[in-house]
Structure 1
Amino acid sequence: TWGNRHIRARRSTDGGSSWGPEITITNPGFQGGGTTVDETTGDILAFVEENHPPANIFIYRSSDDGLTWKKESPTIRPDSQGHHPSMHMNDHGTTLRHGKYKGRLIRPTRFYAGKNDREKWPEHYTNAIYSDDHGKTWQTSEPFPENGTGEACLVELSDGSLYYNSRVHWQERPKNTRRREARSTDGGHTWKNFRIIDILPDGHQHRSYGCMGGLVRLPIDGQDILIFSNIDTPNATREQGTVWASFDGGKTWPVKRLILPGPSGYSALNAGRPGTPSEGYIYLHAETNNGSPGARFP
């Protein structure tokens, strides 16, 4: 899905080899980040905001694999500080599959502190929302353990814990051109074990502003193989779309590969589904100077 004036989607039924015509989800509307799949019901949830956040939030739900969409007005409860979240430019989230919180929908969100102005950045923080009733009501988590953050991604690990990876844009934070992480063992309500990930860049390294990245856990039972995407360049420009691999649930990132030479910016990742034409593939979607191409690789 995409769009900042009206929201559209395309579908592929052959694992990404080809894509069908544009489907209008809503017009007008402002992109609320990636879509979330309810693995229990098969529904797809697209979050849409009325305009650039903070703004009113709606969900558009598809129960026929993205062919048609229906508008809903979800209940989204604030966090413990009374702050309501925004969805904008956060990753797609997931359905939890293990342990006590199996079936829970969760996706990263952010608190804008009223507007996205530099003087407000010290009050910004990233967080998450989660739902135990298939997206009708949502609870906002406790804040991520660092202010000045936003645009995050998360995955569930094989033991049911959550790994959270975030952009930072506040220039007063230490090592402010590297990614941040935290973890949750309570289904995404609180975030602990904050760490700056020295090996993972957050945008180009000539300013403290960061760049939205992608994250996916490969669907391999009992293994926590994670793929992360961002840019990796010595130059003061957004270029060189790159992926990194972790084989231990994000503790280390020993492998990286250049996927998109040349201009590259915001990115998102996903993995193919077992038993479908997409099985075995990793999908990278990134912005460039020539639109927003996708890459598919085994």
Structure 2
Amino acid sequence: MAQLSLGSSPIYKAKFARSTIFDPKLKFLEIEQTQLGFWNSSKSNMALRLQASTEGVALVQETTETTPKLINDSSDSFTEMKNRFLSFKKHKYLENLERYQELAQAQAPKFLVISCADSRVCPSYILGFQPGEAFVVRNVANLVPPFENGPCETNAALEFSVTTLEVENILVTGHSCCGGIRALMSMEDEENSSSFIKNWVVVGKAAKSSTKATASNLSFDQQCKHCEKESINNSLLNLLTYPWVEERVAKGLLSLHGGYYNFVDCTYEKWTLDYQKSNPKQETGGYAIKNREFWS
């Protein structure tokens, strides 16, 4: 564990060692001054130690109370967070203690959910997942990069949930008014940028191209909405580029689903990718879906 005390830092120790080892006179002077200071202050130190032993709690409280509060809003936010946590502990954790003790030993979720990082679309809150039911990955615009793009946090979580946890369902869920998709649709073709956001959302460029080809007559806002759903299906197809995902889907051990949450009118669409091993895409360049549902 890192030490915050200056006296314990390696740099401090190294400097002190050099000053005492290479300058004997300085070392003797420091010892002499230390001894003199010790004898002169022994009485006052004794009094302070006595006061600390009898009023230690009061001294700590005084220090705490006089600490300046620089960010009042943050303090208020964490006070509310504390109250929510204690409420969770009382009404959820302790009332279901046996279940949480089981989860402390292992997890066996049936779902991997890939959702947007947008603060308005927490999948557990919207879809009611309870602890242990869903392994959740959240990123900007709920994108799944293809296998050939190389390692990233999203496919690391994908690998773990599929190969180790052996989830039975992957749900890629998007949402209305997605800022990540809007950034994708606003980008110029072949744009070079140092922006982390743009370099990430370009993963969805196939969805953007498809949207431009089929919805060019629509307004920009309508094109963004179209791309929000098209991007979900593009991510479902990207999932099949991972060998261990494609293998389990082909064996019927894993299903791939898309979902779209419209928080403007609180509706949810759900569908399943109809996997065809020989050709996951149709001749028209589209894809087959099944079990489409609309929840309202």
Higher helix residue share: 2
Larger radius of gyration: 2
Identify the structure with bigger relative contact order (alpha carbons < 8 Å, sequence gap 6+): 2
TM-score (structure 2 length as normaliser): 0.23
TM-score (structure 1 length as normaliser): 0.23
